[in-house]
Structure 1
């Protein structure tokens, strides 16, 4: 997988309270991914970018909320997240990545 495709598949880490709890408890990390990304692509991208071994990937599609604005009804963007479980002994440190 090319370096360009890696950065198109992985849009960035998803940092939230739930993501932090899951990372501490289960060794899973949450990433925002492209809408057209597949599980094998996500697995390869994480393994190449962070030099870790991925055990499995779960993907969640979240529909954007409809919100009322001053000009009528608006729609937030849809979101696609990937929960990546690493193999035993592997860890990702986001502060250490180049």
Structure 2
């Protein structure tokens, strides 16, 4: 059983972009930034507990950090994980009002 404190260590934030809004409208898929160590089962239970929805499927992607130039230094951004969470057709996630 996952405690409420651990829920916020698994899910960091919703990921908002043009692609994520298209996924939300067409396929009812919400995209989250999650912990790199989080498993699909942990992500599923965290989303179901926080937003009171039924999760159909989850796909995760590990995004590699980019190398950037800052003056004469090479800086590497951190790796992070993105989770595509598909919820039931009749349900919706509202990030402002749904957190319990």
TM over 0.5: yes
- Which ranges in structure 2 are unaligned for 5 or more consecutive residues? none
Q: Secondary structure at the match of 1:7?
A: helix
Segments ≥4 residues shifted beyond 3 Å: none
Equivalence for 1:75: 76
TM-score for the superposition, normalised by structure 2: 0.93
Q: State the distance in 2 between where 1:70 and 1:97 align.
A: 44
Pairs aligned (count): 98
Equivalence for 1:23: 24
Q: Deviations over 1:1-54 (max 9, x none)?
A: 110110000001001111011001100000000010000000000000000000
- Which ranges in structure 1 are unaligned for 5 or more consecutive residues? none
Determine whether 1:36 maps to 2:33.
no
Q: Secondary structure at the match of 2:95?
A: coil
Q: Secondary structure at the match of 2:21?
A: helix
Q: Deviations over 1:28-82 (max 9, x none)?
A: 0000000100000000000000000000000000101111111321111112000
